[in-house]
Amino acid sequence: MRRIIAFSILLLTSCFVKAQHVDVPASFKYLKYIEVDDGMGSCGWDHNPMVFYNENITTLIQKTIQKGHPLYFIESEYFDIIDVARTKIDYKKEEYFRIVYDGGPSCDPMYSIYKEAGDSLIRMGTIECLDLFVPGNGYLYTRGHANTTYDKRKKYKLLKDKLEEVKQPYYHVGIRSEIIESIVLYTDKTLEEELAKLPKGAKIEVLLNEDEMFLVKTSFGLVGWWKPESLYPKSPMPGLYFRGD
């Protein structure tokens, strides 16, 4: 009996700790969050898709879209579409939007944003990501590995009723790893002049990304450009992934 009680306490404790372990960026500490349960728990993500929202301008819905709903489409009979929430993107405007999530047929998390126009819903665009942040300041923020080689973080704005990414000079990568095969770093993106040839087992840090190029720092502190020949079936740099399924 004592063993059963002890096991139950341990199980409850571990579940509680897992539920509490949510990485909320310091700039969005004031936001509430909700997990989106689309029934695809076998996708291998470290957590369910999540929406971070401003509770003062958001109404949670969390309902599966059924056949007959205007947002239902025939392919969705193989996966759930979730009407997550009704919210404002800009708290100063009297415009409300619906956040609709689906993971597609092959675990590709994405959020579609619809603008309410009377009884109609007008699609503003779709963003592929695991976590969506909607603070109400006029922008949307995203993170999470979704058809990308790493956890790419982006910012979006609405421009003429279309979602548009706010361009960054580079994307931050921030992966520290130990390479599993030799790679070559170059002095610039032309890949003509070699900077360093790193052996298998070398420790590196991936700093930035632009298109197919990565800026990599060696353990000594040299910084050079690297372009992977392929990340499939196995990446030479653990932490970077093949972009597809």
- Give residue for tokens 């939007």: 97
Q: Is the dihedral of CA 139, 142, 147, 148 positive or negative?
A: positive
pLDDT score recorded for residue 243: 62
Could you identify the residue written with the tokens 């969005």?
28
DSSP letter string, 66-103: PTTSTT--GGGGGS-EEEEEEE-SBTTS---EEEEEE-
pLDDT at 142 over 60: yes
Q: pLDDT class for 93, splitting at 50, 70, 90? A: very high
What is the pTM for the complete model shown? 0.85
128 forms bridges with which residues in the sheet?
A: 110
d(CA 85, CA 97): 8
77-86, 114-123, 155-164, 180-189: range with lowest mean pLDDT:
77-86
pLDDT at 42: 56
Please enumerate in sequence order all residues whose Cβ is within 8 A of that of 207, keeping only pairs 6 or more positions apart, or say none.
172, 173, 174, 214, 215, 216, 217, 223
Rounded distance, CA 26 to CA 34, Å? Answer: 17
H/E stretch holding 19: helix 2-20
Specify the higher pLDDT residue, 134 or 103.
134
Mean residue pLDDT of the chain comes to: 86
**116: Cβ contacts below 8 Å, ≥ 6 apart:** 86, 95, 96, 97, 98
Round to whole Å and give the CA distance between 113 and 124.
5
Q: Is there a contact between 214 and 225 (Cβ–Cβ < 8 Å)?
A: yes
Q: Could you check whether the bond before residue 228 is cis, i.e. omega within 30 degrees of 0?
A: no
